[in-house]
Structure 1
């Protein structure tokens, strides 16, 4: 017997579950002013709560969006944007029950992939999520860091007013598109709390847009941290880059040149950048960019293994048969042949055996089968299959999400 029920969140339970999520993440209690402005970004749809009577004790929220996969196909995605359990009810099966209900809902709605940003990496593997994309934090000192003279830069950069930032950036993000595996769409209710709150009239962030021959083609969102003290009154500010997106390398380089041209700045810190972003070769002195950290970014969970494997493309190599195990969604358990012509379910014997969370790690191309086998996450039946799987799943560009949710 359990002393709680898991069910969809009702419209009049939105604020209570949002408050619960905030308390579980140790944030401040939500004010009436905040809720009146941003409560619309917390719709009841696609939320499962655990309730003790009428009182919420847990929440598992998601938003339905899209994700780019290797090869350029865009799939429906369940983006898990908030999970929490009340402190006095943890380790009693509440989280497991909510995650099971959420996964069953994704499967029933035909959503092939789910994703999240993990607050604690040890939690989500048992629910089938694997670390599928990494991101780096970079530090560039000013004024030492500057672009190399041969870096192609064209067009102009203009600063937006807060009202313009709210109005113009959603359409520009759509224009830039999901051009890298792991990038996700941003539904209308994502923008108010994740962007407008920071860059709009009540926020502190600055937005600049790059315009090229065909119009607006890139933007950057950043904040500043004042480092001046009584002992160091001339210490410049630090620019903290929240996001930088662009259509092409020229717009990308122009936005970095703009950041590096801002006066009275001692450095630039940018978190959650693609691990293969070529900042070092763009600089006159490549030593003037430092990778301060590399961390897990997007965690991926195949919900419909057949549909997910069939949707992405593969490089040229002889096919490999993967035996996938999925404890929470047992319909996925079985063998799948993956080759340059696609993927399908098969009765053939397995070459490699792996759990569904490891398939999530392999899927976007961040990790190789060789690395996962060495880590004990892939059971090797036929040794030659490891190199074939490496070639099949390899991608030219590293996966990257670039969206907070």
Structure 2
């Protein structure tokens, strides 16, 4: 009796396991929660979606190579296509997804990939959700971040792709197509994923904000797009972080553009503009989303008698004390100078030259404050010459 007292009934064990498998949607990252379920849900890749829809109807899938910037939907597209081909029941047995940045050696190609590729797919089972799926007689191997694979591993993959092409199709996903060896790239149909345009990103972010009941203003959406540089995954992550930060305050604070910039590690525009104006660059006063003039205190310091070198040095020290990244300051100052309306081409080229020198020095481990000061002084000299 004592032994039986501590035993758990099989049904209770099974119920516990089933309970563990249930994932609360509220605890999911929004990137996964709103990942496209079908290829029709993929944003801003109309040409690729049109081609894949025809492939889906014929079920004759070639080896594929998806390449383009991060966060443009490459992995989401092939996962959605695989689910539409095989359905939820056969997805696990028919699709092998590997991240080549972790598993990129030749041993993985010879063992894991080859063993999966040589297995003949089982007969189609009846879908549990009541829907019918094409379920073609082959499997799919997805190699994410394939540009991280070694040259030997890529070379070993060539023969496997040819030998088992009848029962296994490959999809290579990468950011830099030039890092894929030519014999491997020539065996695949290439699909280039372009950076997402502003309208598609805006529509997607507004949809997620509405579903999550998060109030966002057009300036916040604009800041999300500019800080993410066409990377929708990064923009969604920033939005979720900002929503959590807003909900944590009491009372709930509205999400501002400044919040997004702080989360993204970007130097706020008002601070960059103030620094640029100190260097002699003409910056008009900007009005923020609440109607306040951001530039009212530009050029002022605790000591109003500072001029020239002393004023610039004080501004640089202030930036460094705030802990802002020197490379981020350079990036934003560079964009501001190059896109400036009144600076001449000669002035812009002089500024760009010193910023290039500073970037190289910072990559080599030089002192950040000294090089930001060097950039500031030479930009000041260039714009006032």
Q: Give the TM-score taking structure 2 as reference length.
A: 0.29
Of structures 1 and 2, the larger Rg is shown by 2
Q: Give the TM-score taking structure 1 as reference length.
A: 0.28
Q: Judging by fraction of residues, say which structure has more strand.
A: 1
Q: Judging by fraction of residues, say which structure has more helix.
A: 2
Higher relative contact order (CA 8 A, sep 6+): 1
